[in-house]
Structure formats: structure tokens, C-alpha cells
Amino acid sequence: MSESILPLSAATPATTPVPMIDLVEQYESIADDVRQAVDHVFSTQHFVMGDEVAEFEREVAHYCDSRDAIGCASGSDALLLSLMALNIGPGDEVITSPYTFFATASSITRTGATPVFVDIDPSTFNLDPVGVEAALSPRTRAIMPVHLFGRCADMEPLWRMAVRHNLAIVEDAAQAIGATFDGRHAGVLGTLGCFSFFPTKNLGGAGDGGMITSDDADLTTRLRRLRVHGDAGRYQHVEVGINSRLDALQAAVLRVKLRHLTTWTQQRQENAARYEHLVEEHGLSDYIDLPSADPGCNHVYNQYVVRVREGRRDELIDGLRARQVGCAIYYPQPLHLQDCFASLRYQEGDFPEAERASAETIALPIYPELGAARQELVVRAMCETLGVGMAHRGRTFSLPQSNKRAA
């Protein structure tokens, strides 16, 4: 713990916190359109699927360059339905990352198949393809790469393995709508792509929602059936599916927001570039490592996760919290060490990079409306906590009067 945290300067009023994410500011900018869209759904009283959902599916398919898109109740269900459509079940193995949100691995367990974890590449936080190759077994049926934080996994070697060993690839693109790899969109980089519209995702609804992208007509048909209890029409249940539909209200809200997604993504990228500049300017580069982006790949920064050197992560978190600067840990415990997966018999030390990432990283605010003034506060708070001398010491860091994003 650091005892001598520098006091807040007069130009940094403690009454102006920097939230980790502020959904209100974004809502206010589109409130009229959202209310109108919601009113329309109420006037039709058509709440489950229907035209609104069908239109939104077409729009997402277009956005991601996929042939089809199939709405469902959540990103978690998108993963589960995808594995069901691929007939993955007991006795099968699916290779995935231990450093991700829980639903990635639990979807595999839910089908009766076994998740096989492979360590991450420390520079990208995504599945290490060399480890995937080593983990292949005669039971491997699919690879589930996660495009973590909005950056696509290294897909090229995974494609080669998938072709050579006849494996499916299910992309967990829950954090990556709009991201690209070699110019191709997340969602069309594998056999099926899974998206989440949880409110804090880059395209977030007014509750839960999810989507699967598919270029395969047979899989599309299967998915459309599986989400309605395997009903092929007129209560003819050709298989046992689940109830996982997208609500028309969610689709209506999401259609309004999709029109702004490209702009919001650009703002996130501008914020990321500004952090790079500020961290350099204030001499923080020796203390934290920033996320990198590959040329030719579009990083959409659903989270902005930095690595804190020298074991000072928790100290930095305390300092940011004391200064009312929002931050978060994604994810504090890798999945191979979760109690519910004890039967898989992994132990501490099995995936050192995932474990190190859990102990060393912190997510900083990156939401589109964040803007320059608040980012200065974030970086200032980091400097004060870590005791880093700031350039331009005499300079006044002024805050905008309103909550509006600084130009």
C-alpha cells in the first residue's frame, strides 16, 4: 500500500468523479428516437420476435457481413445455441480461453461437453494458437476463441487447424461487434459468431439480448428452430430446443442504437489514442503497458485494459477509487480456478499468463462520451497514486462545466 498519496489538486474537484461507464449521457442523446421506437412496439402489442426482430437481424447481418443473423435472449444463449446446432455434447471437447467471462466456458459445460482451457498470449489476452494446437485431441470438436475486450483473436492459425482437423469455430464476439481481423468482421471469422447486447456492451440494449451470425443456411434453420423449443412449425417439435427469443422491445431500442455504433466505436478509438498520448506525456509508460492494436485489425475497445507493472495493480485501484475515478478488474479469477470447474482438475500454475493477467490488469473508463477532460483526470489520478512526476506541473487541468464531451 502507498502511504503518501499526493493530495488532489485544487483543479481536480472531488465532486466530479469519472465513472467507469455512463449510460445516461448516451441515452440522453438518443432518448427521443428510443421512446418513439418503444412506443411503436407498444402500439402493435407484438412483443416477442416479429417484424422488429426480423429487421434488426437483417441489419446486424449487414453490419457484420454475414448471410444471416439469428436473435436470441442473451449472449450466453447465443453460445449455447451455437454449440447445440453443431451437435456438440457429452464426450466432446471444446477448446477455449480461461481468461474470459464465465459464460464462454459454461456454455460448453451446459451441452455436456468438456471445456479444454489453453493459456493466452500475454500481449493480446487472447487464445495462444500454439497452445491450441498442443491441446487438440481425437475428441476435440470445436474451438471457441474469444475476441476479448474488442480485439479479435489471432484467427489465421485457428482456421488452418479447423480445416485440417475438421473442427467448428464458434466465435465469442460478445465484446467485439464491429471489430475486424484482416479486414473481415468479427462474427464471420468462424462457423458461427455470438454477440451480446447486455447494456454495457458496445451495442447494449435495455436488458438482455443476443445474436448469432451464420453463413450456413442449414445452421441458420437449425438455430431458428432451437430457439423456439425445436418447433419446426405448427407445434411439430423435431428436436428439443430451448426458449431463447429476442424481444421486440429490445430489437426496437437496438435498431436505434445500431445507427450510431460506428460513431461510438470511433469515439472509443479516439479515447484509446488519447490515453496513449497522455500516458506518454505524463511519463507513465514505464509503469503501465497499454493495449496494442494490430495493423489491419479494428480494435473496438469494449474495455480498455492496461497491465500495471511491479505488482502495483491493487495499489493503483485503491488510488483511483479514492479519487472517484472508475475502474474495474476483468477478470479477477481465471475460469480454470473457479470452484464449479474443480472436476476438470486444473490447478494454480496451469495457465500462468491467464493468472498473471488476472493479477496485473485493470480496466480504465473508455466509453464513447468520456472525452479529453475526464481522461486527463484518469491519468492524473494514476500519476498521483503511483507517485509519477507529471509533465507541465504548473498547468491547470480544467473540467468542462457540463457533462458534454469535449471536442
Ligand X SMILES: *Cc1c(COP(=O)(O)O)cnc(C)c1O
What residue ranges bind ligand X (CB under 6 A)? Answer: 74-76, 100-101, 103-104, 146, 172, 174-175, 196, 198, 208, 210
The 10 Å CB-count burial string (b at 16+, else e) for 267-285 is: bbbbbbebbeebbeebebe
Tell me which H or E stretch contains 304: strand 304-308
- Measured from the CB of residue 373, what is the shortest distance to ligand X in angstroms? 29
DSSP 356-400: HHHHHEEEEP--TT-HHHHHHHHHHHHHHHHTPPPSSTT---PPP
Residue nearer to ligand X on the CB measure, 271 or 303: 303
Grid coordinates in use for 288? 503501465
- Measured from the CB of residue 337, what is the shortest distance to ligand X in angstroms? 17
- Measured from the CB of residue 259, what is the shortest distance to ligand X in angstroms? 21
- Measured from the CB of residue 57, what is the shortest distance to ligand X in angstroms? 16
Residue nearer to ligand X on the CB measure, 99 or 287: 99
List, in sequence order, every residue forming a beta bridge with 88; answer none if it has no partner. Answer: none
- Measured from the CB of residue 383, what is the shortest distance to ligand X in angstroms? 30
Residue nearer to ligand X on the CB measure, 152 or 383: 152
DSSP 236-290: -BSS---B---BHHHHHHHHHHHTTHHHHHHHHHHHHHHHHHHHHHTT-TTTEEP
- Give the residue among 256, 310, 284 at the shortest CA–CA distance from 364: 284
- Measured from the CB of residue 76, what is the shortest distance to ligand X in angstroms? 3
The answer to whether the CB of 185 falls within 8 A of the CB of 269 is: no
Residue nearest ligand X, CB atom distance: 75
Residue nearer to ligand X on the CB measure, 100 or 385: 100
Residue nearer to ligand X on the CB measure, 202 or 269: 202
List, in sequence order, every residue forming a beta bridge with 18; answer none if it has no partner. Answer: 325
Residue nearer to ligand X on the CB measure, 198 or 367: 198
Can you say how many angstroms the Cα of residue 33 is from the centroid of all Cα atoms in its chain? 26
- Give the residue among 380, 364, 379, 369 at the shortest CA–CA distance from 403: 369
Residue nearer to ligand X on the CB measure, 210 or 326: 210
The answer to whether the CB of 301 falls within 8 A of the CB of 366 is: yes
Grid coordinates in use for 119? 493459456
Residue nearer to ligand X on the CB measure, 82 or 104: 104
- Measured from the CB of residue 100, what is the shortest distance to ligand X in angstroms? 5
- Measured from the CB of residue 296, what is the shortest distance to ligand X in angstroms? 23
